[in-house]
Chains A and B, each alone.
Chain A
């Protein structure tokens, strides 16, 4: 096979083409540019790496475009998604442990309800952030502070430090973002001013 012969239908091309065809038309030239260059990249892994990079670019551009179109802040969107994912993991862990329960369900059910409600707190905060609720912003800051302190306490008791340290780092970053003046302003609702007018239309 001629090494310079372009490869248009191998796995990396098909993966990248799959994502390119699902992108908004406005970013078309860039998507097709990456796809066109892929046909000249030599070696399967180099091609695969090129395709993965292309998918990352497409996903990031799409996310940014959606955030702009809907007036969302990307950083807040990511924090909301992180909290949603956090709840999903907690609820998944709780559900995974259900078959291990040996106690009578009469005693277990109230505890389970409480545990599920606690596990849902990050998701509720995430929805609040998504909706631009300032109480959710403050709640998320408090939640992150509590979570970081718990992770610090956990760090002093175990020798595995990488994951808790990463979580503490994430908490610190989220707190810093949520306390930035422009973020605080974005969450504040504009005051409603009421005016009384008489029958002639003049302001009282």
Chain B
């Protein structure tokens, strides 16, 4: 169970992207390209997940320009919740595909 909070499709897509390599740190821009989420959608989700304790953050100096960059990684709790949310989402999608339309 993902918990008592409602997860948007965008949040699910971000969790899916981060769950591909759950132990790796991710850059915001890379996540944006991977999920095709704009910065105005991506950062509120990252902020919310960090508030919930699903995400840990750190600063690192980038190789490209030596400037600090913010990195994100799922915490143990985040990984657990992400797995549950992705499972629920896949189940809901499968139910929608297989359930016949109700006759009125």
- Taking a contact as CB atoms under 8 Å apart, the answer to whether B47 and A61 are in contact is yes
CB distance from B72 to the nearest CB of A (A): 9
A34 within 8 Å of B by Cβ?
yes
- Whether A39 and B40, one on each chain, are in contact in the complex, defined by CB atoms closer than 8 angstroms, is no
Size class of the B contact interface (CB-based, 8 Å): 20 to 34
With known contacts A36-B69, A37-B27, A56–B57 Cβ distance under 8 A: no
Residues of A within 8 A of B (CB): 4, 6, 29-30, 32-34, 36-37, 39-41, 49-50, 52-54, 56-57, 60-61
Most buried by B among A30, A32, A33, A54: A33
Count contacts between A and B, CB distance < 8 Å: 66
Report B-chain residues with C-beta under 8 Å of the C-beta of A53: 38-43
CA–CA, A61 to B59, complex, Å? Answer: 21
Q: Are B69 and A29 in contact (CB under 8 A)?
A: no
Chain B proximity of A86: nearest CB distance (Å): 26
The residue of chain A having its C-beta at the shortest distance from the C-beta of B28 within the complex is: A37
Q: Which B1-42 residues sit within 8 Å CB-CB of chain A? A: 27-29, 32, 38-42
Query: What are 5 residue pairs bridging A and B, where the CB atoms are less than 8 Å apart in the complex?
Result: A4-B64, A29-B57, A33-B70, A36-B68, A50-B38
Q: How far does the alpha carbon of A52 sit from the alpha carbon of B41 in the complex, in Å? A: 11
Cross-chain contact of A50 among B39, B46, B62 (Cβ < 8 A): B39
Q: Shortest Cβ distance from B49 into chain A, in angstroms?
A: 12
Closest CB in chain B relative to A85 CB, distance in Å: 22
Residue of B nearest to A49 (CB): B38
By a CB distance below 8 angstroms, the chain A residues around B42 are 53
* B47 proximity list for chain A (CB < 8 A): 30, 57, 61
| Chain B residues whose C-beta falls within 8 Å of the C-beta of A50 in the assembled complex | 32, 38-39
Q: Is B65 an interface residue (CB 8 A)?
A: yes
Complex: chain B residue closest to A4, CB-CB? B64
Report if B67 contacts A (CB, 8 A): yes
Determine the residue in chain A with the shortest Cβ distance to B65.
A6
Q: Taking A37-B27, A37-B39 as given, write out 17 further A-B residue pairs in contact, using a Cβ cutoff of 8 Å, ordered by the A residue number.
A: A29-B57, A30-B43, A33-B43, A36-B68, A37-B29, A37-B32, A37-B69, A39-B67, A50-B39, A53-B38, A53-B40, A53-B43, A54-B39, A57-B39, A57-B47, A61-B44, A61-B47
